[in-house]
Amino acid sequence: MRRNRTLRAIRPLPSIVALLAVMVITPAADGDWRACTHELIELTGSVKDIDGNPARNARVSWYGTVWDADCRVGQGRSIEASTDSAGVYHLSVPAGSVSLWIETSDRIGSTREAIFAGEDLRTSTRRDYAFRIFRIEGRVLGPGGIPLAHGRVQFYPDPGGALMCGTGLPETSIIEGTFTAIVRHPGSYVFGLSPASMDSGICTMSQIVPIRADTTITFSLDGHVVEGDVRDRVGQPMVGARVEARGFRIGSADLTDSLGRYRLYLPQAGYRWTVTPKERWIQPRSYDRDSVSTSRRRDFVIAGAAWSGRVRNASTGEPVDSVEIFGYSGTMESASYGDGIFCWSGPDGRFHFVVRPGATFDVMLRDYRVGSVRRKLRAFGRGDGDDRQRLRDYINAQEDQIEREYARVRARVIKGMRAGGDSTFDFTLDPVSRKTPGR
């Protein structure tokens, strides 16, 4: 069975080609335009599945250009065929650069692989192909060399040193210290390992492993014990604070207990530290990179400047409750991702938050009703990236209308507030005036 698909392409005129040849100051060789050919060659071969049996009904596809008689207008074309009951394919295609792909489904899933990848073929050629899989049996050890009870492993071909994250990556579960992964091609693979809880103190790590055959690998998520406690500005333990150490391809995080204590297991490396209080009205703290080469203690004191006061209606002086207050030193997005503070004004308009000493902040105040409407609109717009962006643009464009219809007071942004020390002050917000119906 064969199917043809056609697209038109225009070949450069000889004068343009000559000009390009002059531009690169390289005379055209005799074979430069051999892509224009009217000869057909036969491609054939047999295909085996991952079990060594004939791969029946696998789709084989050729992609290329077919030129007209004077080699000036070409048609991009796809020629497809299927393997027969013996797993044999046969296609007649133009000679020249050949890209031939084969697609099949098996018990592992679907795959599409290249039999020829841009090879220059001038004569009929036979090329057999066998699908392969490589089985990786993994062992994962936690602190003290004890098998990790539960976790997960993501694995993917090494993209050249960069790390990938998110949904859609192949992954498998760690159960009682073991996992099994299957890949289709030899090469270097990134294995990203993490415990069941990302806040357990057990490290997460990514490691590049060459795979050339069925392989057994042992990973260790053990490390030096770094522990301590986290206290607030008056020396009280901070419960539920997240302490994180992050290095290159490795990291660990733990939540402080009822006494403010944490414990991390860290392999020898350099780490940057962050402490994020459970209370969003206390600004998270970041610390300079340091090296871990032995077990040790590290304590944190989240001191800062306490800002407190009331939110008031600028016209009446009355306190305004349920106003969202965002403090951020970069952008609103940085505050949303954990680098700022957030609180609400209480029933009597009071607010309180703690910021890093010496920092300069922008503060945004907004009636909770506006934020609530925006969040509801976003919830209805969950979908692909383009859809989310269109909805975000629409919501931003309707900001004034949303405020006019739902807010009691107008939003306000105060620029350049400096945290020199403890301060008490009021924020005033202009009321939103609404026309009385019928007037």
Domain 3-130: which CATH number of 3.40.50.720, 2.40.40.20, 3.30.70.260, 2.60.40.10? 2.60.40.10
Look at residue 100 and give its three-state secondary structure: strand
Does the pLDDT at position 436 exceed 90? no
Whether residue 113 has pLDDT greater than 90 = yes
Comparing 14-28, 47-61, 151-165, the range with the smallest average pLDDT is 14-28
Among 70-79, 84-93, 126-135, 223-232, whose mean pLDDT is lowest?
A: 70-79
CB neighbourhood size of 105 (10 A): 13
pLDDT at residue 396 in the model:
62
pTM > 0.85: no
Residue among 281, 287, 279, 286 nearest 241 (CA):
279
What pLDDT, on a 0 to 100 scale, did the predictor assign at position 399? 62
Stretch (H or E) spanning 356: none
Q: What angle do CA 244, 247, 248 make, to 5 degrees?
A: 150
* pLDDT for residue 232 is more than 90: yes
The predicted structure's pLDDT at residue 32: 42
For residue 116, is pLDDT > 70?
A: yes
Distance of alpha carbon 38 from alpha carbon 208, whole angstroms: 47
Distance CA 422, CA 76 (A): 71
Same fold across 224-302 and 305-429:
yes
Tell me the per-residue pLDDT of 22-62, one tens digit each, with 9 for 90 and over: 333 333 334 344 457 778 999 999 999 999 999 999 999 99
Q: Give me the mean pLDDT over the 336-349 stretch.
A: 81
Q: Could you tell me which residues are beta bridge partners of residue 215?
A: 136
Q: Please, what's the largest Cα pairwise distance for the chain?
A: 90
Helix (H) or strand (E) holding 130: strand 129-130
Among 141, 147, 265, 292, which residue's Cα sits nearest to residue 201? Answer: 265
Distances in Å between the Cα of 183 and the Cα atoms of 53, 204, 209, 275, 317 are 19, 22, 12, 38, 67
Annotated domain spans of the chain: 3-130, 134-220, 224-302, 305-429
Q: Which residue has the tokens 């069975």?
A: 1
Could you tell me whether strands 423-429 and 269-276 are parallel, antiparallel, or unpaired per DSSP bridges?
unpaired
In terms of CATH, what superfamily is 305-429?
A: Immunoglobulins (2.60.40.10)
Judged by average pLDDT, the poorest of 16-20, 126-130, 377-381, 385-389 is 16-20
Q: Which CATH architecture has domain 224-302?
A: Sandwich (2.60)
Question: Region 319-338: what's the mean pLDDT?
Answer: 74
Query: Which CATH superfamily hosts domain 134-220?
Result: Immunoglobulins (2.60.40.10)
pLDDT of 3 higher than 70 = no
Contact 126, 45 (CB under 8 A): yes
